[in-house]
Amino acid sequence: MEAIEKISVSIEANAAGGGVSILKNQVKIDFLTEDNGLHKAEDSLGQISNLLERNNIKKEEIKFIYVSIRAGSKTGGKIKLALANGLGRALNLPVIKVITETD
């Protein structure tokens, strides 16, 4: 019997910016941050699409959406939370929200 792979999207917001990641069975397989191609929170949806495409993953394969918001993140955190919620609703997926402490 073949194991079922669980694909998830992780969206991170923090005071310095954040990033988006694709995870397979809770292991990060690809990501973008402000250091390597993600320029602002508003770009996140297109970058998620790019990550899925370059890893040959269909949106129907996604099982969860995680959004991690670091304390201190203001506008970017709100935008990424709205993005995660909208994506979750559009794909009928659960959104798991995590608030992290500052360093």
Confidence of residue 80 (pLDDT cuts 50, 70, 90): confident
How confident is the model at residue 15, as a pLDDT? 60
CB 22 within 8 A of CB 56: no
How confident is the model at residue 8, as a pLDDT? 93
User: Would 2 be classed as within a structural domain?
Assistant: no
CB 98 within 8 A of CB 67: yes
User: Would 34 be classed as within a structural domain?
Assistant: yes
How confident is the model at residue 5, as a pLDDT? 76
DSSP strand E in the chain: where? 7-14, 17-24, 27-33, 62-70, 95-100
Quote the number of domains for the chain. 1
Considering the entire predicted model, what is its pTM?
0.79
User: Would 92 be classed as within a structural domain?
Assistant: yes
User: Would 1 be classed as within a structural domain?
Assistant: no
User: Would 80 be classed as within a structural domain?
Assistant: yes
Note the pLDDT tens digit of each residue in 17-71.
678 899 999 899 999 886 655 556 667 888 899 999 999 999 999 999 999 887 7
User: Would 57 be classed as within a structural domain?
Assistant: yes
Domain that holds residue 83: 7-100
Greater confidence, 57 or 80?
Answer: 57
User: Would 22 be classed as within a structural domain?
Assistant: yes
Token output for 30: 């690809």
Greater confidence, 67 or 5?
Answer: 67
